[in-house]
Amino acid sequence: HLDSVTNGTERTPRVPEIVSVVPDRILDTRPDSAVNFTGSKPAAGSTLTVPVAGVGSARVPDDAKAVYLNVTAARTETRGYITVFPCDEDRPEASSFNPDPIRTTAGLIPAVLDADGNVCIYTNSSTDLIVDVNAFVPSTSDYTPVVPERLFDSRQSTPIAAGSETVIDVTGVGSADLADDTKAVAVAVTSLRTDANGYVTIYSCDDDAPTASNLNTSVGERRANLTTTAVSGDGTICVFSNRSTDLLVDLVGAFPASSAYVPTTPERLLDTRASSRVNYTGAKPIAGQIIELQVRGAGTDVPRDAGTVVLNVTGLQADGRGFVAAFPCGEPRPTTSNLNLTGLTTAAMVVAKFGDNDRVCIYTGPSAHVLVDIMGHSP
C-alpha cells in the first residue's frame, strides 16, 4: 500500500534516497594506471568532461539527481582547488576540495549530472585526477542538490576560538532558501590558518557536541571534508572546533522533511587506538588488513530496511603512504579508494553499501589506526 504521496510521486518506506554501489573507478589520468587510464594529466586552468551515467559497473541512470564521486588529486604541481559541477551550467565560485603538491588529497563530492550524464571537473593547478563512483541519488529521491553556496566564512570576521561552538543558519537563507522543516543538509567544511592540529565536529544544535569528528585541522594545511548533519528545530547547525581556526561552510544539498534519509547524532563505531576512551574495538590494523565492521545494531539502531550507511572514516598514525577503502563485505575488494594516508590525520565521508551479515568492510594498505563514525542511513 502507499504510505505517503510527495510532490505527486508515490512513495513507500523503501524508496531509497541514496543508492550505494560497489565503488567503481571511471577516470584515472595517471599514465602508469593499471585500472582505467583515460587521458593525459589535466593542465592548470583546464576543465575535464567526465561521462558518468551508464559508465562502468555502477550503471548510474541517466535521470539520477546527483552522484557521489570520490575525487582524488595526485602529483599536483602547485596548491590550488578543484570544482565539480554539471557541464551545462556555469562553474560556481565554491570549490570541492584542495589539491596539494606534497601529498595525495581526496574528497567525496555530491555532483549534479548535466543533460548528457556528464560532470565537469575544473582544476586551477595541473594535477592527475582519479574519480570513483560511490553512490547515486535516484530521480525518485527527495534529496535536493544545490549549486554550492557559502553559508559561513570566518575570514570575514574573526577565526573560530578554540573550544567554541558556532551556530550557522541553514534554512531561509541565501539563494537555496531551504524550508524551515528541512530534515538534514549536506555541507562541505574547510579549515585553514589553524593554530594547532585538532578536529572539527558538525552536529544539530538540538544535540550536545558528540565525541565523533568530521574534519581534522592541521597547521599550515587547508583541509576539507563533506558531511551530512541533522538540522535543528530553529533551522541551524552547530560547529565545534577544539583549536582556533578559520572555517568555511558551503551548502551542497538538502534532505527535506519528506526524505527517507535518517541523519543520526554522530556515533563512533570503531577506534583502534588503545588509548581511546570512546569505543576501543581492537588493535591497530596491520598492512593489508580488512576490518569487518558491524554497523547495524549499534547505538543508533540502524533499521533492517537500511541499505546504505553514511560514515566518516579517519586514518592516522600510518606506517607508510597508502589508502583506505570501504566496500560491502562479501564483495571482492575494489580497486578504488576512499581515503589517502599521507602521514597526517585525515578524514573522509563515505557512502557505503551494506554487505554480508550487515557489515561494511574497511581495508587499509599500510598499518594505520582507523576511526569510523556513523552519520546517517537510508533505505
239-290 residue pLDDT tens: 999 999 999 999 999 999 999 999 988 888 899 988 766 666 778 999 999 9
> Which residues pair with residue 263 across a beta bridge?
376
Q: What pLDDT, on a 0 to 100 scale, did the predictor assign at position 243? A: 94
Q: Which has the closest alpha carbon to 186: 151, 140, 138, 223?
A: 151
SS3 308: strand
Residues 6+ apart with CB under 8 A from 171: 178, 179, 180, 182, 231, 235, 236
Residue 78 amino acid letter: T
H helix and E strand count, the chain: 0, 25
DSSP-assigned states of every residue in 338-375: SEEESSS-EEEEEEEE--GGGEEEEEESSS-EEEEEEE
Q: Which residue's C-alpha cell is 554539471?
A: 86
Contacting residues for 281 by C-beta, under 8 A, at least 6 apart? 269, 270, 271, 272
Distances (CA, A) of 177 to 86, 169, 189, 233, 361: 21, 11, 19, 16, 38
Task: Give the CA distances from residue 305 to residues 70, 76, 176, 291, 355, in Å, rounded to whole numbers and listed in that order.
Answer: 25, 42, 31, 23, 13
pLDDT in tens, 199-250: 999 999 999 988 888 998 888 888 889 999 999 999 999 999 999 999 999 9
- pLDDT for position 9: 37
**What is the C-alpha to C-alpha distance for residues 231 and 234, in angstroms, rounded to an integer?**
8
* pLDDT attached to residue 33: 67
d(CA 142, CA 254): 9
Of 210, 367, 209, the C-alpha closest to 286 is 367
Please state, in angstroms and rounded to a whole number, the distance separating the CA atoms of residues 376 and 350: 11
Quick check: 333 and 347 in contact, CB under 8 A?
no
**Which cell numbers in the block locate residue 184?**
538534514
Q: What is the DSSP string of 230-267?
A: EPPTTSEEEEEESS-BEEEEEEEEEE-TT---EEEEEE
Specify the amino acid at residue 333.
Answer: R
Determine the Cα–Cα distance for residues 327 and 354; give it in Å rounded to an integer: 8
Grid cell of 248 as nine digits: 568555511
**Which residue, chain included where needed, has cell 576543465?**
47
What distance, in Å, lies between the first and last C-alpha atoms of the chain?
A: 17
Q: Are strands 144-153 and 4-6 parallel, antiparallel or unpaired?
A: unpaired
Measure the CA angle with vertex 128, ends 126 and 130; round to 5°. 140
**Cell 561552510, residue?**
249
- 220's CB contacts (< 8 A; 6+ apart) are none
246-255, strands of its sheet edge to edge: 144-153, 246-255, 184-192, 223-230
pLDDT at 36: 59
| Residue 11 pLDDT | 37
pTM (predicted TM-score) = 0.85
Grid coordinates belonging to 360? 561494511
Q: Going residue by residue through the chain, which has 379 residues, state the pLDDT in tens, using 9 for 90 and above.
A: 223 333 333 334 456 889 999 899 999 998 876 555 667 899 999 999 999 999 988 889 999 999 999 999 999 999 999 999 999 999 987 778 888 898 888 889 999 999 999 999 999 999 999 999 999 999 999 999 887 888 999 998 889 999 999 999 999 999 899 999 999 999 999 999 999 999 999 999 999 988 888 998 888 888 889 999 999 999 999 999 999 999 999 999 999 999 999 998 888 889 998 876 666 677 899 999 999 998 876 566 788 888 899 999 999 999 998 999 999 999 999 888 898 887 778 888 999 998 888 899 999 999 999 999 999 998 8
